Amino acid sequence: MGKFENDAREMLRLVGGKENIAALTHCVTRMRFTLVDPSIADVPAIEALPSAKGSFTQAGQFQVIIGNEVADFYDEFVAISGITGVSTEEAKKLAAKQGNPLQRAMGAIAEVFAPLIPAIITGGLILGFRNVLGDMPYFGPEHNATLASMSVFWSGVNHFLWLIGEAVFHLGIPVGICWSVTRKMGGTEMLGIVMGLTLVSSQLLNAYAVAGATEEIWAEYSWDFGFAQIHMVGYQAQVIPAILAAITFNYLERFFKKIIPTIVQMIFVPFFSILLAVMAAHFVLGPIGWALGSAVSSVVNAGITGNFRVIFGAIFGFLYAPLVITGLHHMTNAIDLQLIADYGGTMLWPMIALSNIAQGSAVLAMCVLQRKDENAEQVNIPASLSCYLGVTEPAIFGVNLKFMFPFVCGMIGSACAGLLSCLFSCTANAIGVGGLPGILAMQPQSMLPYALCMAVAVAVPFILTFIVGKKQGVDKAAEAEGIKQEAAAAAAEAKAEAAASLPAHVSAVNQAGVLSAPMTGVAVDMKSVPDPVFSSLAMGRGVAIEPSEDAVYSPVTGTVTMLAETGHAIGITSEDGIEVLIHIGIDTVELKGGPFTPRCAAGEGVKAGDLLMVADLDAIEKAGKPTTTMVIVTNTDDYSSVDATLGACKAGEAVLKATK
């Protein structure tokens, strides 16, 4: 059984079953459902699942926050639900129909960049390490040397790491965008990769050398067609040219598939599509895209570095968390990458990382306020940690938006930190590394002032959230909930202890071939059990009991031969050779032992009437599982008959007779 099988099965039920799911996909942290009837989904119950960190509806999709393990959850959900015919693209198309044009555009941007995020994070960490090794002159006797300049080893490491950094940010971004756009549009993904490679080929003049190119350089880097000369420009780290090129290629491929006969499509569709797309990219779209990207980065850079940069920083810091809710935050990836390409760094990403920290600090205050509420802490602590590492959705949707004031306090703290970040001109060399590790991406001269900004992003939201939470009585509510949880735990323990005492009515018969009832309840025919494994008698003859009490006693005197790890099943061999299986509930193996408290161990000798197990029948029922308990003679073939006494029974009373 998989880690998320129980939650996945329950989520399928709570969203309205397979028939209510029109399409299904997932992103980096969220399950994304397109539901036939969204009103059917039981949102509070879904959010109460252990794996769920919160939920919301955006762009026509019902989204459930799972966290970094969403891919594993998705795989188990698909396996359980049997939804195999729904593609990611179908989910996106169906959801897109429910959104407005702005939502669809932002959704498209998110879908293009989401698959690139792991590579961007990796590249950001690599460049962060290179900052420490090659750009921080704080080492040596005079504290004015870098690690790379002092050590051949660290110099070699610094040089080696650029292999990965260059692959991600200089070469990988255009190639990855072309692939991702092609994947989204349903084109031939390999040709999308080829399209991207033609933008960053070593035959072209590197994008970073274009600004200083002379006539002599252009004479070497030009295509001469006689009647015209075209500059051979590379588009390393460029975003908009890659997007335009990929879209053009995909529309060309669709066009040629429509007009070229199927029998020769394999030959001519790829040839004409890629040839014309590459020509369009280098002759027309590339220069246009470069100009558009430069214009956008110029406007943003003017806002960040101009006379009103402090106001810009405060506004951006305040509004970034709400952008996460709408999905509009994905557009900042393209702007950040363009700023790095044009200016050698970005002042936008530092504020994004600070917003992550601010929202995490608001949750940290909630951790303190709700420390006596065990259920709240199970959500608060992981949400805060993930926020500090750059993933904000669990914190925003799972904690802060539920109370709202922590969300606003986080926005205020982010605004203060963003103001300081712009005031100090904090600049990052790379993006992708958010939260506290974001300082690794800062340029060396920005690290110290950025550390101050981080301190503000931690302190302000924490203090504000704690003060407001105190005034609103969050800590008192958590204390009351904690007392309630402690009382429930004490009651459960008392219930188990009470069950440990053998009831007076137990007669514990000990006759050859006689099995007593292990539980008090009603004995029914095994053939009526709603599980073919038992009702078919494939495992042997016996009796089923609909129990009314939690205690499970030994039906025979003998030896415990098996105790399931999950506690739901016990095997006993009696002194006279009867092999007995007690199976508590149906499909209770899926409960992973939660409702079961064993009072025996494999290999232990027991007498008829000894307490074997305390089974929490209420917990089993709340989990949606039948409590029907089977008592089976698994070596039935050794007996001429196994007869059951049906009707009301008490633990210890004869209920089965096995005759040789």
Angle of helix 331-343 relative to helix 348-369, nearest 10 degrees, comes to 140
* Sequence-separated (6 or more) residues with CB below 8 Å from residue 618: none
Nearest CA to 339 among 311, 307, 390, 300?
A: 300
* Sequence-separated (6 or more) residues with CB below 8 Å from residue 350: 421, 426, 427, 428, 438, 442, 446, 450, 453
**CA 243, chain centre distance (Å):** 27
Q: Is 61 helix (H, G, I), strand (E, B) or coil?
A: strand
Going by the DSSP 8-state scheme, the letter that residue 639 receives in this structure is: S
**CA 341, chain centre distance (Å):** 31
Pairing of the two strands 30-35 and 54-58:
unpaired
Q: Is 576 helix (H, G, I), strand (E, B) or coil?
A: coil
CA distance linking residue 553 with residue 557, whole number of Å: 11
CA distance linking residue 254 with residue 364, whole number of Å: 51
CA distance linking residue 291 with residue 501, whole number of Å: 83
Nearest CA to 368 among 466, 270, 444, 442?
A: 466
Tally of CB atoms within 10 A around 20: 16
* 253 neighbors 244 (Cβ within 8 angstroms): no
* 389 neighbors 436 (Cβ within 8 angstroms): yes
The yes-or-no answer on residue 453 being catalytic is no
Tally of CB atoms within 10 A around 520: 21
- Give bridge partners of residue 522 from the DSSP assignment: 546, 648
Residue 1: CA atoms inside 13 Å, Cβ hemisphere, count? 15
The catalytic position among 27, 367, 387, 422 is: 27
* 111 neighbors 59 (Cβ within 8 angstroms): no
CA distance linking residue 29 with residue 74, whole number of Å: 11
Going by the DSSP 8-state scheme, the letter that residue 285 receives in this structure is: I
Place of tokens 């949880």: 485
DSSP readout, 74-88? HHHHHHHHT--S--H
CA distance linking residue 257 with residue 251, whole number of Å: 10
* Sequence-separated (6 or more) residues with CB below 8 Å from residue 513: 576, 578, 639, 657, 658, 659, 660
Nearest CA to 198 among 140, 282, 108?
A: 282
In angstroms, the Cα distances linking 481 to 233, 255, 365, 366, 375 are 65, 63, 18, 14, 9
Going by the DSSP 8-state scheme, the letter that residue 329 receives in this structure is: G
Residue 487 identity: A
Catalytic residues: 27
